[in-house]
Amino acid sequence: MKFIKIDNDSYGTILISWCICAVLIFLTARYIPILWISLPLCIAFVVFMVFITWFFRVPDRSTPEEENSRLVTSVADGKVVIVEKAFEKEYLKRDCIQISVYMDFFDVHCNFWPITGEITYYKYHPGKYLLAFHPKSSELNEHSSTSIRNKHGEVFFKQIAGTFARRIVCYSEPGRIEYRGDQCGVIKFGSRIDLFVPLEADVKVKVGDKVRAIESVLAVLPD
């Protein structure tokens, strides 16, 4: 039997949620004697406990064509909401192709390195908690920025908090070599990823596509 792997940084969140639900179940059972009211409430709390555990799962997936260092795979599960030319002004300071993936409440929220390479830049930005679809959320919301480079090019991405995402975990350390498909962090609750690839990259997705972290190829870097 294969057990679900849980994100290492999320056990505290799960424990707090379970404790709150356990107290609510006790109070409901103790002080609401009407069975047709208390029973559904207790079931709802148990379902929430299961869901919050499942929410922080780490998927067991394989990267496509492991030997191909040109492939850029998705950092997160979700829906592609932006594919356009954009100027990346924080670090790369040049025109790129921006690919944004929105994670809803039911997507896997662990994040994974898009390419194999060296971490060249990392910065955490405190900020607001606008809806992740808001045009200014990429700049104004709390986010972490990372750039990773190999011989084919450099990929820059942001983990962006949303209205309900109040904690971003990022494992980026400049100078370290990381491998595509390994976990690079987690965003707790719904949010989005903005990823920037070179203009010469061959983009493989379009707006509206559903993508899966590790498995879905977003672009191919130039040779």
**In this predicted model, which residue has the larger pLDDT, 201 or 103?**
201
Mean pLDDT within 1-29: 82
Place of tokens 């949303």: 162
Least confident of 3-7, 46-50, 154-158: 3-7
**In this predicted model, which residue has the larger pLDDT, 189 or 215?**
215
Under a CB-based contact definition with an 8 Å cutoff, are residues 159 and 193 in contact?
A: yes
Question: Average pLDDT over the chain, rounded to whole?
Answer: 86
Residue 191 reports pLDDT greater than 50: yes
Per-residue model confidence (pLDDT) at position 13: 80
**In this predicted model, which residue has the larger pLDDT, 159 or 60?**
159
Per-residue model confidence (pLDDT) at position 57: 80
Least confident of 4-8, 18-22, 28-32, 41-45: 4-8
Mean pLDDT within 190-205: 92
Per-residue model confidence (pLDDT) at position 211: 96
Per-residue model confidence (pLDDT) at position 1: 44
Point out which residues pair with 204 in neighbouring strands.
none
Per-residue model confidence (pLDDT) at position 67: 63
Per-residue model confidence (pLDDT) at position 12: 81
pLDDT digits (tens, 9 = 90+) for 79-112: 999 999 999 999 999 999 999 999 887 788 789 9
- E-strand spans in the chain? 5-6, 57-58, 71-73, 78-88, 94-103, 110-112, 117-125, 143-150, 153-161, 168-170, 177-178, 183-187, 191-197, 202-203, 210-211, 217-220
Per-residue model confidence (pLDDT) at position 193: 92
Mean pLDDT within 113-123: 96
Residue 220 reports pLDDT greater than 80: yes
Catalytic residue numbers, as ranges: 191
Which among 142, 132, 131 has a CA at the least distance from the CA of 168?
Answer: 142
Per-residue model confidence (pLDDT) at position 96: 97
Point out which residues pair with 195 in neighbouring strands.
99, 157
